[in-house]
């Protein structure tokens, strides 16, 4: 004797009910997955846009010929943006900071658009030599001068490895002077930068031409 079981019609009814239940669940799951993917893609696109935009500006405002030597151009140009657009490094590490036109005397109206490097002293660019007099004393030079950050014979900016450069930017210390804290340089501010930004700055400084320090004869020749 056969055991009684669900008829074909009732089985179809069960499948239909299951289908009605499963379909909304599948749709909701699919929509949630698409929404999450769009959010991730949007964030990635936003970050990529910012990186590309900053690198593009860095390319425009770079004042010297660069030697990429296999380095990522985008990273180098990002470093240019951070050095020339954000960090104000030229003010302390180029002596004199500007040539021909002194923006501090003539004002912004005498300068080209903001996407142009302007009257930067390219001959001594980032080669240091800027003296820092004691506070409240006349500008007569000082034994404390900014270092040369252009590549040495080994191609290292200021002779520093990246680890040494990062230590200077983050902790205000260099291996050449153990126990000595760097003065004047605003490393307490620079230490907040991302590691990738520090690597971009290092890559840029590794790509600029080697140069010799210039001579500043007055405080009006620097950005300080």
Each residue of 200-223: pLDDT tens digit? Answer: 999 999 999 999 999 887 655 554
What is the per-residue pLDDT across 35-54, written as a single tens digit (0 to 9) for each? 555 544 455 566 777 788 99
CA–CA distance, 72 with 80 (Å, rounded to integer): 12
Vertex 111, ends 108 and 115: CA angle to 5°?
A: 105
Q: Which of 203, 165, 188 lies closest to 83 in space, CA to CA?
A: 203
What is the per-residue pLDDT across 142-194, written as a single tens digit (0 to 9) for each? 567 889 999 999 999 999 999 999 999 999 998 888 888 888 889 999 999 99
pTM tops 0.85, yes or no: no
C-alpha to C-alpha distances, 173 to 5, 160, 182, nearest whole angstrom: 84, 12, 6
Output the CA torsion sign for 197, 202, 203, 205: positive
Note the pLDDT of residue 23. Answer: 54
Contact criterion met (CB below 8 Å) for 121 and 99? yes
Note the pLDDT of residue 14. Answer: 45
Please state the separation of Cα 124 from the chain's center in Å.
22
Under DSSP, is residue 62 helix (H, G, I), strand (E, B) or coil?
coil
Vertex 89, ends 87 and 91: CA angle to 5°?
A: 120
Tabulate helix, strand, coil % of the chain (nearest 5): 50, 5, 50
Confidence of residue 75 (pLDDT cuts 50, 70, 90): very high
Vertex 89, ends 83 and 91: CA angle to 5°?
A: 140
67: pLDDT strictly greater than 50:
yes
Mean pLDDT is highest, among 21-35, 85-99, 196-210, for 196-210
Confidence of residue 17 (pLDDT cuts 50, 70, 90): very low
């Amino acid at each position: 004797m056969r055991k009684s079981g669900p008829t074909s019609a009732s089985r179809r009814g069960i499948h239909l009910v299951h289908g009605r239940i499963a379909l909304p669940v599948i749709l909701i799951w699919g929509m949630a997955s698409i929404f999450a993917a769009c959010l991730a893609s949007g964030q990635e696109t936003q970050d990529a846009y910012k990186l590309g935009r900053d690198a593009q500006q860095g390319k425009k405002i770079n004042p010297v010929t660069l030697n990429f030597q296999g380095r990522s151009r985008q990273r180098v140009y990002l470093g240019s943006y951070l050095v020339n657009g954000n960090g104000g490094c030229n003010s302390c590490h180029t002596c004199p900071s500007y040539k021909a036109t002194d923006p501090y005397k003539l004002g912004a109206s005498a300068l080209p658009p903001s996407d142009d490097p302007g009257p930067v002293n390219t001959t001594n660019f980032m080669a240091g030599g800027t003296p820092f007099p004691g506070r409240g004393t006349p500008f007569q030079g000082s034994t404390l001068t900014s270092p040369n950050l252009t590549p040495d014979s080994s191609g290292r900016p200021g002779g520093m490895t990246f680890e040494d450069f990062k230590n200077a930017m983050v902790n205000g210390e260099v291996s050449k002077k153990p126990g000595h804290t760097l003065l004047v340089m605003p490393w307490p501010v620079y230490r907040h930068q991302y590691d990738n930004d520090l690597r971009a700055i290092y890559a840029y400084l590794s790509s600029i031409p080697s140069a010799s320090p210039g001579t500043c004869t007055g405080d009006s020749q620097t950005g300080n």
